[in-house]
Chain A
């Protein structure tokens, strides 16, 4: 019974991923929009592990998003690695190593200091990409010509097929992340979120746990970066910017931290606000102002975002029935 319950969420996610382009289509978007949202959703899974489950607010995740993207893209463009999967994996690995290095320095501090340091380190990556590594990364021009995915002889050449590829990767990432947060490791992270001092007193090496979480988040960011290259065919240098780091944080908070699907919801809201409002002449340029106001309102009043609000509502609604035995 418990196992059957555990399969409901992944199944629902699978159904959702299949239906998503159609839903986006009804709402006036294309499959590109759906793919973009999924990439950010995957990126956000790592951010949610960091912020939603561990309480670490990193303002430098763009560094790993860009690193993973550019490494994978470079390998594919220059045919250094024949397989898409291998290139994505190497990009992910390099991003994870970068995360390990940055994390080992930034995690020496907590709270405000940690946020400032991640931001500063991501600027280091931005400037590395822009100047000294210009020859490799294309500097301000970015990297064009990333080929579409090819796995075991199957070509994901059209946009629809690329969406399918991204959806498969997202699904695997989602299921793996569900396992991570449900594992004993994930429980320690939540203990750190609740009270780092108590977690340390209980004998957990808080720094090590945070570092592992930070590295995993960097790996997710790197993988998402690689996927962006696949469907855009192009890697823009602004993957490394502060705005990119801020964007994913805003999506996380709007969607709902600690819910895993939060960033997906946040990304949908962000992208729809920018696309839909932009088409309404007079207030088109104000979409980001609206977003900023919504964001401040959510932090001030509804700390758990959209997904958190919905789940609270559902729990209260369920409570009318006889209370079920807690499954955990």
Chain B
């Protein structure tokens, strides 16, 4: 019984991270209209940026800031140099170029840090376990849930309660009209792409203590966040959160009962959603 409760909490922690990663993906997809296949690579870049700062300073807060800033800047550069040229090209080209970009990012990191797997230690203030309804539970996972929840809340406020959020949401709806109304959509695109990158990077550093840090760590997460977006619905804020939590719980709870099938169950659930509700649980029809 306790095992199941612990696994449910694990699922919540995993789901929180997946929600965050998928949200970054879905915001970019919603506004710019294309899936960023380099999202997993940016997750990895964030983890490395944080790991470097943490191993110098032992300060987890600084590591989080570093991950955010570095991936935000990388996002700005990528958008200016490359992505900009692709807004008017077919979706296949956009996928291919971001896939190529992912290869480049991964190989640059491999060239600098080699392929050796690094351990990102749990910050000292969250290293212990806490007793929770009779089970001892690693404290950091609870911290992770809180961090993800707070980040999601901040993003909610930014997207739904500020002027820039209004522009972003209007741009998702119809970029052309927003442009005609005199808003510089190009700048908004740049900002949103960099924001998506920063969310990926931030997720990378907060998830890093639970994972092994290596150049290929983003691949699994990229595919899982695709599944989250498919389950939750493209371009939907709450869809990303719901999809993330569902995905996290499916993986964790199946692990408790039939470990061999944990990943299989996730993709089976995705297939089911696709058959029953192709636009995703909270997606709007015709958005794809």
Interface residues of A (CB under 8 A from B): 51, 55, 57, 59, 105, 108-113, 115-117, 119-121, 123-124, 127-128, 131-132, 134, 242-243, 246, 249-250, 253, 285-286, 288-289, 291-293, 295-296, 299-300, 303
Contact = CB atoms under 8 A, between A and B. Distances in A.
A117 B230 contact: yes
Contact of A131 (B96, B100, B104, B261): B261
B76 interface: no
5 contacts: A111-B92, A124-B263, A124-B268, A134-B260, A289-B111
B223 A123 contact: yes
Contact of B107 (A108, A243, A288): A288
A250 B95 CA distance: 12
A109 B233 CA distance: 13
Interface of B: 29, 34-35, 82, 85, 90-97, 99-101, 103-104, 107-108, 110-111, 219, 223, 226-227, 229-230, 234, 259-261, 263-264, 267-268, 270-271, 274-275, 278, 288
Nearest to B280: A113
Contact of A127 (B95, B107, B263): B263
A55 B91 CA distance: 10
A132 B103 contact: no
Nearest to A110: B288
Given A119-B223, A286-B111, A127 B99 contact: no
Contacts of A119: 223, 226
A55 B97 CA distance: 16
Tell which of B229, B267, B270 has the most Cβ of chain A within 10 Å: B267
Given A121-B267, A127-B267, A131-B263, A293 B93 contact: no
A269 to B, nearest CB: 14
B264 A128 contact: yes
Q: Dominant SS at the B interface?
A: helix
Contact of B104 (A112, A242, A292): A292
A121 B264 CA distance: 10
Q: Dominant SS at the A interface?
A: helix
A295 B103 contact: yes
Contacts of A293: 104
Tell which of A124, A243, A285 has the most Cβ of chain B within 10 Å: A124
Contacts, number: 115
Contacts of B268: 124
A113 B110 CA distance: 30
A116 B230 CA distance: 8
Contacts of B96: 57, 249, 253, 295, 299
Contacts of A292: 100-101, 103-104, 107
A242 B221 CA distance: 12
Tell which of B101, B229, B264 has the most Cβ of chain A within 10 Å: B264
B263 A300 contact: no
Contacts of B267: 120-121, 123-124, 127
Contacts of A246: 99, 103
A275 B82 CA distance: 29
Nearest to B96: A299
B264 A299 contact: no
Contacts of A243: 219
B261 A132 contact: yes
Tell which of A131, A250, A291 has the most Cβ of chain B within 10 Å: A131
Nearest to A113: B288
Tell which of B94, B108, B270, B278 has the most Cβ of chain A within 10 Å: B270
Contacts of B229: 116
Given A116-B35, A117-B274, A111 B91 contact: yes
Contacts of B97: 296, 299-300
A291 B101 CA distance: 11
A303 B270 contact: no
Given A57-B95, A59-B99, A295-B100, 16 more contacts: A105-B271, A109-B274, A111-B92, A112-B288, A113-B288, A121-B267, A124-B264, A131-B259, A131-B263, A242-B219, A246-B99, A285-B110, A289-B108, A289-B111, A292-B101, A296-B97
Contact of A55 (B92, B94, B110): B92
